Amino acid sequence: MSPAGVPGVVERVEAHGETTLVVDPARVVEACTHLRDAEGYNVLVDLSGVDYLGWGAKQVAGYIGTPGGRDIHAPGSQGFERTPGEKETRFAVVYHLLRVSDDPARLRLEARLDDGDEIDSVIGVWPAADWYEREAYDLFGIVFRGHPYLVRILMPEDWEGHPLRKDYPLGGEPVRFSGEA
Amino acid sequence: MALGRRLPLVSDRPAAKAGLKSERILWPERGPGVFEQELEEIEDALMTTTVEKAIAWAQSGSMWPDTFGLACCAIEMMSIVSSRYDIARFGMERFSSSPRQADLLIISGRMTHKMAAPARQVYDQMLEPKWVIAMGACASSGGMFNNYTVLQGVDKIFPVDIHVPGCPPRPEALMEGIVRLHEKIRAGVPPAYEIRGVAE
Amino acid sequence: MAVVPTTRIYEGTRIPARCPTILDVDPAEHDLEDILTVNFGPNHPSTHGVLRLIVQLDGEHVAGIEAVIGYLHTGFEKTMEHKTYWKGITYPERIDYLSFQANELVFVLAIEKLLGLETPEKATWMRMCLSELNRIHSHLVWLGTSALEIGAISMFWYAFRERDMVLDLFEMVAGVRMHTRYFQVGGLAEDIPEGFYEQARDFARHMPRAVNDYEALLDRNKIWLERTKGIGLLSAADALALGQSGPMLRGSGVDWDLRKAEPYLAYDEVDFDVPVYPNGDVYDRYKVHMDEMRASARIVSQCLTRLEELRGQPWIADDRKVVLPPREELHTSMESLIHHFKIVTEGYLVPEGQVYVAVESARGECGCYLVSDGGPKPWRVKFRAPSFAALQATATCVRGTAIADLIAVAASLDPVMGDVDR
């Protein structure tokens, strides 16, 4: 299947047997409506946010020391990809679509946003987007225009901050070991 | 329970005579463990009267748990009601949904900050005497989740009598915890809120 | 047979217009002064965990409903970003704590897809066998608790009797009843013990008879039929629009099962039926669950036949950059020691990319969206939870029901709050 007639597509990536269409965030509702009506993607399987803050930060891998210290968790020490390429925007909203029919197909849409950008809600295209968008707002702070009830869903209503952002700390308490002085 | 041979009573102190033998149910040849020795010492120190002993026996013989199942441990808590493990032997098959009619709160599962307020409300609605078992690693100490949303141990919001380790603890492990709680009560140990005090 | 049915359960759509997951009180049908707002709080025996429903009642009838979730939000996704892949495998199991192997499986399959790693045949078939046993386990707990809520109290003990048999099998294989952590990247953690084949075969032979017993108790019971037939209707179009999958979708007539439509593991090599029922009510979803238990028992016996032929074969892939070497080799081989050290301390590296893998768990489509930056820890891992989607259908399914039916509908949606809140 070739979603070549989908409006708003900026880029098309094929990897690991999956197709990803990068869509202009201003035209996301148009693209989704076209995909639902013309191509038959009748199910929105998942809608998630991704935060790319700190992606590809230059670090030294392995056990070699540098003036800034060493990080054994940085990529590159076992011969796989070196540090990955840069990302232009901080956030991405990723939609996973499914066509339930005799000719099943899956598709991923990616809309790239910066911090503070808003994106239109696709709740009018697939009602399933309701809670997924509330979750993306709660955990990332991405605002969906046109959502009828965009309030926090997983965290308590009076929580401050958006936990899944990369600059939000993991939290928790330091573990105390018995026998400590 | 008929075993076909007498369990060796290692001591003739009152607690042992009254049936204190939790570890020996599982391991008959073993002597009294640390838990049992401590309980025997406590009982000597407390010198409970016969009336108090009778009350303790009644309380522990029919303690009604509250249905406070949160996560995976709740499934193992449900399985102690099932016929293989059968908590009805201990008089506890009547799980009460209303905290006002419950004696025991078994916190089974991870407690989040959002859930802490309703949980504390449930604890406050229970009538005294009331006991709390923190079942599993998440309820005892936050478990494998040391993050922004999981309460690191449910004893931050109310006092806990017994912590049962495991992820999830086997039904037998939970029953061992419950049996130890019964023995604590019969030895005269007061519920945790009297020992540790409850914050308002 | 067409995947989406042509007959309709009701005309039009019943999804609430303003907000799909909130049923607002319709002033034309209910007098607003008669409305009583009741809170089915997070601690309630009939809500499968910590689900809060704010219900507006007109007498006994449900006029408005809103579901509030988040009481079990454990921060799995953020925590897993801080753990290496090997350590991270313990986390997904606890998300959907009833069908735990499915979550493990989907995470492991996602990592293997990014790595491009092939697993040996024995591992594939054993994964399939355990996934089906897990499906039986999840349906048994669902049956026991749902029947308990609807009023058929003795079903709880019958269902948990078989559930303990399944957990005995898991314990034999992995040492632990629940949350077995048996699936590793590359295959299985350990070889299959000898006694497993016979005991599992006995169980697979016993299971269909047990399902017949359950149906004998419930299927012709007048009270059960009155309480489940015609309740909680959901049409196929609404189900697809709300992103449903699994028994919710198959109970509404849509013939969609990932094991047949997009086969993973070795599901295209086994023979089984997928039950589809047309009426979209609680009774049909119950029938789907029962028939799936029988189908799973069939798959398990076919897997065991194949596994017995594969005795002595390797159970994990040979790629030492990803898979830990066997312990005996650590005493003799220097490379094995270094590999072990690197994998345990730093973690194996997964190439940059993003994948989405889905499996058919007991509740529906359980998916894992994994974004990797080339490092030893996942950059973003999102679990597509089938119960999250199922709960969104609450407002649509409870139109026109009474309180007691609300409990039956919530039970048939089969939500597991760990899955919903993650």
Task: Give the closest of C45, C94, C160 to B67, CB-based.
Answer: C45
- Distance, in Å, from the CA atom of C246 to the CA atom of C255, rounded to the nearest integer, reads 10
As beta bridge partners, residue C358 has: C367
Is residue A19 within 8 angstroms of chain C, CB to CB? no
Task: Give the pLDDT means over successive 10-residue stretches in chain A (181 positions).
Answer: 67 88 90 89 91 70 48 50 71 91 89 88 90 92 90 89 87 74 54
Report the residue of B66, B70, B73, B75 to disrupt the C interface, i.e. the one with the largest count of C CBs within 10 Å. B75
ipTM of the complex: 0.89
Q: What SS3 state is found at B9?
A: coil
> Looking at residue A86, what is its pLDDT?
73
Residue C76 has pLDDT above 50, yes or no: yes
- For residues A151, A156, A160, A165, the Cα torsion angle rounded to the nearest 10 degrees is -80
Over 70: is that where the pLDDT of C322 sits?
A: yes
Bridge partners (DSSP) listed for residue A113? A91
**Contact list, C145 vs chain B (CB under 8 Å):** 78
For residue A34 the two structure tokens come to 């076209």
Distance of alpha carbon B142 from alpha carbon B154, whole angstroms: 8
With 60 as the cut, is the pLDDT of residue B14 above it? no
Three-state SS sequence of A127-181: CCHHHHHHHHHHHHCCEEECCCCCCCCCCCCCCCCCCCCCCCCCCCCCCCCCCCC
**What tens digit of pLDDT does each residue of B52-70 get?**
888 888 888 888 998 788 8
Tokens encoding B30? 């073993």
**For range C321-331, the mean pLDDT:** 83
Please name the helix (run of DSSP H) or strand (run of DSSP E) that holds residue B186, with its range, or none. helix B171-187
Chain B contact set for C78 (CB, 8 A): 147-148
Which pair of structure tokens corresponds to residue B158?
């109310």
Of the candidates A15, A32, C381, the residue with the CA atom closest to the CA atom of residue A23: A32
The single-letter code of the amino acid at C369 is Y
Residue at token pair 């293989």: B84
The nearest CA of chain C is from the CA of B175 a distance in Å of 16
Q: If you count residue pairs, one on A and one on B, with CB atoms under 8 Å apart, how many are there?
A: 26
CA distance C128 to chain A (A): 22
Mean pLDDT for the stretch of residues C52-81: 89
pLDDT in the model for residue C370: 93
Angle of helix C155-174 versus helix B72-79 axis, rounded to 10: 120
**Residues in chain A within 8 Å Cβ distance of B113:** 156
Q: Please choose, from the candidates B109, B84, B82, the residue with its C-alpha nearest in 3D space to the C-alpha of residue B95.
A: B82
* Cβ pair B111, B80 in contact under 8 A: no
Q: How confident is the model at residue C289 (pLDDT cuts 50, 70, 90)?
A: very high
What confidence tens digit (pLDDT) does each residue in C15-25 have? Answer: 887 888 888 88
Residue C256 near residue C250, CB atoms below 8 Å: yes
Report the run of H or E that residue C144 belongs to, with start and end.
helix C121-150
Q: Nearest-CA neighbor of C390 among C226, C278, C238?
A: C238
With cut-offs at 50, 70 and 90, classify the pLDDT of residue C131. Answer: very high
B1 pLDDT higher than 50? no
CA distance C169 to C183: 15
- One-character DSSP codes across C200-269: HHHHHHHHHHHHHHHHHHHTT-HHHHHHHTT-S---HHHHHHTT--THHHHTTT----HHHHS--TTGGG
Tens of pLDDT along B86-128?
A: 888 888 888 888 889 998 999 998 999 988 888 998 999 998 8
Q: What is the pLDDT of residue B23?
A: 52
What subunits touch chain C, counting only 3 or more CB pairs under 8 A? A, B
Provide the token pair at C180. 């077995």
pLDDT band at B51 (very low <50, low <70, confident <90, very high): confident
**Which residues of B, range 122-161, sit inside 8 Å of A by Cβ?**
142, 145-150, 152
pLDDT tens for A123-137 read: 889 999 999 999 999
Give the nearest partner residue to A170 out of C82, C262, C392, using CB atoms.
C82
Whole-number Å distance between alpha carbons of C330 and C336: 6
d(CA B4, CA C174): 34
Chains with at least 3 CB pairs less than 8 angstroms from chain A: B, C
Backbone region of residue A141 per phi and psi (left: phi > 0; alpha: psi in -120 to 50; beta: other values): left
Mean pLDDT over B180-197 rounds to 83
Query: Per residue in C263-285, pLDDT tens?
Result: 988 898 999 999 999 888 899 99
Distance CA B35, CA A55 (A): 53
